[in-house]
Amino acid sequence: MSNKISRWIRLIGIATTIPLLGTILQGRGYANTVAENSLARPLLVRIAIGKTTSAVTTLIGESHRQGHQVTTIAQNTTQPVINYLVSALQKYNKQDYRGALADYDLAISINPNYAKAYSYRGFVKAGQLQDYRGGLADLNRAIQLDPKLADAYMNRGQLKEQALHDVRGGLADYNLAIKLNPKFAIAYANRGILKHDILRDKSNKSSGIADLQQAVGLFQQQGDTENYQVVVEKLKKWQQTDNNNPDL
């Protein structure tokens, strides 16, 4: 797997073209080598559906095949909201991001207090449409409505780090995502790369390696073989680079 794929999408399952980090942040003070040498960094969408209708069952199966991690929507969520979330994911997987955004708008118009819908919409705005302010507003709203929504912190952390050049803010959000979900493999991977490749001092490099090792173990436990292989290769490259350049 190429290490030059977008860091705005999940590592597997979604075929799309998004600007590389080096393109997004060109001229903002980050070394291009960060984009060239880093693991792809996903803004992770976890579609959460807990109904047993045939459409939803089909969606869950498709989500697993395409690499999504599926959690559960609250059982009191109304059927129209679920229908729009199903439709949004289907459009997203077809790269119809404007259509997915419209479906999330409709879901939110029905239930304006549904935190996950804001989180999903914020993902689409920031990750696919490069509407960083709009994405940040949605992720902030999701966290306001549900302060324990780990995915929203992880996605906001990535938005802060990669598009808003707020590295410390991104790190703080990764920390919160991991605190809320200690088995959040991608959050460990993101945090580890930030520490090792951006903060770069000796203690952060060591801590970044530890985070990526944790991600390796979690990906393996969770049966995520493709992401497992990517982080293993990343660790090997770090080991080679750090051994050859101990003072960097």
Residue 182 CA to chain centroid, in angstroms? 15
195: exposed, middle or buried (C-beta count within 10 Å: 0-12, 13-18, 19+)? buried
1 has pLDDT over 70: no
Higher pLDDT, 243 or 27: 243
Which pLDDT tens digit goes with each residue over 62-84? Answer: 333 333 433 344 445 678 888 99
Question: Are 194 and 161 within 8 A, CB to CB?
Answer: yes
Question: Are 47 and 68 within 8 A, CB to CB?
Answer: yes
DSSP codes, 197-217: III-SHHHHHHHHHHHHHHHH
* Per-residue pLDDT, 54: 31
Please tell me whether the overall predicted TM-score, pTM, comes out greater than 0.85 for this model: no
Which pLDDT tens digit goes with each residue over 16-32? Answer: 222 222 222 222 222 22
Quick one: tokens of 215?
A: 């991600």
Question: Are 45 and 11 within 8 A, CB to CB?
Answer: no
* Per-residue pLDDT, 98: 97
Question: Are 59 and 47 within 8 A, CB to CB?
Answer: yes
Inter-axis angle of helices 115-123 and 132-145, nearest 10: 160
Which pLDDT tens digit goes with each residue over 185-228? Answer: 999 999 999 999 999 888 888 999 999 999 999 999 999 998 99
Distances (CA, A) of 235 to 157, 190, 214, 226: 22, 13, 11, 15
Which pLDDT tens digit goes with each residue over 141-163? Answer: 999 999 999 999 999 999 999 89
